[in-house]
Each structure stands twice: as C-alpha cells, then as structure tokens.
A and B are shown apart, each in its own frame.
Chain A
Amino acid sequence: MPKIIPAYLTFIIIFSISILSVKGQVVFAQESTPETSNAVPLTESPVDDEGGFEDEFEDEFATADQEVFDPLGGYNRVMTGFNDGFYILVLDPVARGYRWVLPDTARRGVKNFFHNLFFPLRFVNNVLQLKAKNAGEEFLRFSINSTIGILGFWDPAKELFGMEAHEEDFGQTLGYYGVGGGFHVVLPFLGPSNLRDMFSLYPEMQMDPVNYVENRSYNFPKQEGEYLGVSRQTLQALDLKLLKTVNSESLRIGQYENLKKDAIELYPFLRDVYEQNRAKLIRE
C-alpha cells in the first residue's frame, strides 16, 4: 500500500500535466487554424469584423472614451491659449537668441549645473518611495558630479560610471502611495498640472536651492534695497529661474511646435499628454 500511493500520485500528476499541455497544444492549434483558413488580406475588408479580435483592442483603449472630470475646463482652455502665446511669442524667440549666443557645450553645462542642484528633491523622493538603490545612486551621482564634475557642470557619473539620474518629485511620491491626480489645472507659465502635482509645488519650492540665494556682502551686484518694491534677493532668485528656463528651452527648440502638430484641439491634447506621461512616471 505505501508503495502504491506514491506511484499512483505520480501517475495522476503526470496525467494531469500532460492533459494540460495537450489542452495547451489544442488551444494553439485552434488559434492557428483560423489564421491559415482566413487568408483574406486585411486591406480588402478592414471593417468586416465585429468579433473578439477588435473587441480586444477596444478594451485596451476604452479608457480614452471616458469623460474626464474637468471643472476648470473653461479656465484651463484660456490659460493654455495664454501659455501657448507666451511660449511662441516670448520664450521661444528668447531661447533661440540664447542658443545663437552660447555654444552647445556651455548650455549643456548650465543644464547639468541646475540639474545637480536639484539633487535633494530627487534624493528625498527616492527615499520616500523606498527606492533605496536609486537613492544611493543619486547620492553617489551628486558626490561625483559636484567634485569631479566641477560643481555639476559636467556629468562624469553618467559618462564614466554609467549612473543615470532617477527623476522623482513629490507628485510622483504621492501618486506612488495611491493619491490620484484630481482634476486638471493649467498654471500660468508653468503649464499643465493637476491638483496633486500643484500641491507638491510647495515642498518642491522649499527644496529648490535657487530660493536660498543669500544676501552676502561680497555678492555682485549689490543685493541691498528694493527695486520696484521687490527685494533684490527675490529678483536674483527670479533671474536664476529665468536662466534655468531659457537654458533648458534652448536645448529643445522646435519640440513643442512639433508636438503641437499632433493636436486637433490644443487643450485636451496637452491635458491628455500630461496625464498619460505622469501616470507612466508614477508606475515606474
């Protein structure tokens, strides 16, 4: 008896496995038969099918048909128009001029410099999302680029050690913990955003080193006093932000115009692009 049971069990297991695999073969066979028998060229009858094949695709893109909750739709449309105009009329020409003046290498260096300064933001959010390896790499990147990379103007961490940056912001951290985006908001100058990402702007601002430019006696030009009621310090922070924006725009001239060509209506298009891209970044 004790000898038979294992043999019996083995037989049952093997039998069921073989049935399963035969079943699998049958499924494969069924799949391949209609393909060979229905050798109708796709172009000849592109619309005949109401069957499962099309439905499979339908499910994949069904989310696109859902109505988007957009209470600020009217405002957003106007603000999208404003931002678009601002980009085309002001930012783009300025960035083009800037590109003409400064060589590619210099602009890339400036971009690296600012990017390196944003290390705290990336580090904290990698930690908050429990991405220990990425946080460690960010830390190493900052150490290497600030020293060997001379204040971050170069990126030896990537070029020599193959360490890529791990972009994470507070909006992504909130998303990681299941906070939904909320409705879409288009911010003046800053462009598409949503409720969640808008709230994370505040902590992000706190971590933006540009806001910590200090009033020191050896700074030039002198930073005392006010100009048109705005303190010099704020003005300088603003200058730096402007430089950062113009510089990064100068490295991607033409991309926005190119993207815009895919739009039939600008606002819903940009909204969709933003939300899909954010969803992907949060998934990662």
Chain B
Amino acid sequence: MQAAKKIIINMLLVTIFSFSFGTTFLFADEISEIREMTKEKVDHVISTLKDESLSKAEKKEGILKTIDSLFDFSLMARLSLGKKHWTTLSTEGRAEFSELFVEKLKQSYLDKLDLYTDEEVVVDEAKLTKKNRVEVLTYLVSKDDKMEMTYKLYKTKKNVWMVYDVDVLGVSIVQTYRSQFSGILKKDSLEELIERLRSSGELGS
C-alpha cells in the first residue's frame, strides 16, 4: 500500500514536471526561432545593401520585399493614428491614410539605410514581454558607436510573428508618430493631416 502510494506520487510528480518544463522549453524554442527569423531578415537587408552586383532599383526592391514580410505596416499605420481617430475615418479615408503613411515609413527606412556605411548588425537577445509579444534587441555597431534598436514583434492571427514597432535608442517610431498626429489633430482636421502627409511624402521622394 505504502509502496503503491509512493509510486503514484512519483508518477504524478514526473508528469507535472514534464508538463511544466515542456511548456517552458517550447516557449524558449519559439523565442529563439523568432530571434533567428529577425536576424535572418535583417542580415538579408544588409547583404542586399552590400551586394555590388545589384543596381540601386534592384536593391530597393529586394529590401522592400524583405521588410514587407517582417513588418506589419498596416498595423503600424493604425497604431500611429490611434483608435480614437482611426474609427472616425471612412473606409476610403483609412485606405488613403494607410497607403500614404506606409509609403512614408518605407521611404524613411530606405533613407536610414542610405547612411549605412560600415556598421555591423548584432542581434542580441530576444525576450518575451507579454504572452504574445517578443522584443528582439539588436545593435548597429560602427567603429566608435553602438546604436540600440529593438524590434517589437507580435503574433498575428495567421500565427506569424511580425514587427509592429521599432525602438531606436529608446524612441518608439509608432509613439513618435502618434503623439505628432494627436498634436496636429487637436487643431487641424484629419483631412488636413492627410494632406500634409501627402505633401511631405512628395518632399521626401
């Protein structure tokens, strides 16, 4: 009787431990997978940039293709405007805003790459911040500087991990746009904001 009890308890313990460890291992695995995925894509952007055999247009196309699969641009557009303003927009208004804003984001990313010279991208650790959020810490290392960039990813409904925000030296891209938009929308209408986005896009390109 005593022995049987012991065996049952031991078995219970073993199952519990294997369950709990099983889930943590699974999580750790997924996180390192996300880290690898981000690293692969960022590395791909850099190698495209360095590839001398490609023309400028080809480079641009290749880079945009890579970042399209990593960044959830339409979510970034929504988050940057904020729910309050987004819900007041008509369907066409939303489409127009998204298109303009995503264009601006992409252009801004490509502009940043223009400054790229001899830096090296080091992908540091990835950590789980919430149950469906992972932050991947990276450094842009040049000869005498080290710039911290954090890619913030979430799990989409399609079970893919995508970037919804990037922190550069602690400055969140989405938050910066969002506070600019909310400041502008205190005095101007949404139509005027879209108009300004359009004109600034033309200025940039």
Number of interface residues of A (CB under 8 A): 55
B51 sits at the interface (CB 8 A): no
B32 sits at the interface (CB 8 A): no
- Nearest A residue (CB) for B130: A56
**A277 to B184, Cβ gap below 8 A?**
no
Give residues 116-171 of B contacting A (CB, 8 Å): 130-132, 143-144, 146, 155-159, 164, 167, 169-171
Contacting residues, chain A, for B106 (C-beta < 8 A): none
* A126 CA to B196 CA, complexed, in Å: 45
- Nearest B residue (CB) for A280: B170
Give residues 232-284 of A contacting B (CB, 8 Å): 251, 254-255, 258, 261-265, 268-269, 272-273, 276-277, 279-281, 283
Q: Which of A39, A64, A108 contacts B179 (CB 8 A)?
A: A64
* A155 CA to B146 CA, complexed, in Å: 15
Give residues 1-18 of B contacting A (CB, 8 Å): 5, 9, 12-13, 15-16
- Nearest B residue (CB) for A254: B115
**A61 to B180, Cβ gap below 8 A?**
no
Q: Which of A10, A11, A39, A57 contacts B158 (CB 8 A)?
A: A39
Q: Which of B78, B91, B169, B184 contacts A280 (CB 8 A)?
A: B169
**B23 to A14, Cβ gap below 8 A?**
no
Query: Majority SS of interface residues in chain B?
Result: helix
**A272 to B144, Cβ gap below 8 A?**
no
Contacting residues, chain A, for B94 (C-beta < 8 A): 46-47
Give residues 90-108 of A contacting B (CB, 8 Å): 108
Contacting residues, chain A, for B108 (C-beta < 8 A): 261-262
**A61 to B144, Cβ gap below 8 A?**
no
- A37-55 interface mask toward B, CB cutoff 8 Å, 1 = contact, 0 = none? 0111111001100100011
Give residues 12-66 of A contacting B (CB, 8 Å): 14, 17-18, 21, 24-25, 28, 31, 35, 38-43, 46-47, 50, 54-58, 61, 63-65
Q: Which of B74, B86, B176 contacts A43 (CB 8 A)?
A: B74
Contacting residues, chain B, for A196 (C-beta < 8 A): none
Give residues 168-195 of B contacting A (CB, 8 Å): 169-184
Number of interface residues of B (CB under 8 A): 61
**B175 to A276, Cβ gap below 8 A?**
yes
* B70 → chain A closest CB, angstroms: 14
A111 sits at the interface (CB 8 A): yes
* A43 CA to B72 CA, complexed, in Å: 10
- Nearest B residue (CB) for A46: B74
* A279 CA to B179 CA, complexed, in Å: 16
* B107 → chain A closest CB, angstroms: 8
**A273 to B171, Cβ gap below 8 A?**
yes
* B116 → chain A closest CB, angstroms: 11
* A111 CA to B79 CA, complexed, in Å: 40
Contacting residues, chain B, for A279 (C-beta < 8 A): 170
B112 sits at the interface (CB 8 A): yes
- Nearest B residue (CB) for A262: B108
**B13 to A14, Cβ gap below 8 A?**
yes
Give residues 154-184 of A contacting B (CB, 8 Å): 155, 164
* A239 CA to B112 CA, complexed, in Å: 33
The 8 A-B pairs with the shortest beta carbon distances in the complex, nearest first, are A280-B170, A64-B178, A64-B179, A276-B171, A64-B175, A268-B183, A65-B182, A46-B74
Given A21-B16, A258-B111: 5 more A-B contacts, CB < 8 Å = A56-B130, A64-B82, A108-B143, A277-B170, A283-B170
Chain B residues in the interface with A (C-beta under 8 A): 5, 9, 12-13, 15-16, 19-20, 23, 72, 74-75, 78-79, 82-84, 86-87, 91, 94, 98, 107-108, 111-112, 114-115, 130-132, 143-144, 146, 155-159, 164, 167, 169-184, 196-197, 200, 204
Q: List 5 contacting pairs A-B, 8 Å CB cutoff, sorted by A.
A: A14-B16, A41-B158, A47-B78, A276-B172, A281-B170
Chain A residues in the interface with B (C-beta under 8 A): 7, 10-11, 14, 17-18, 21, 24-25, 28, 31, 35, 38-43, 46-47, 50, 54-58, 61, 63-65, 68, 108, 111-112, 155, 164, 251, 254-255, 258, 261-265, 268-269, 272-273, 276-277, 279-281, 283
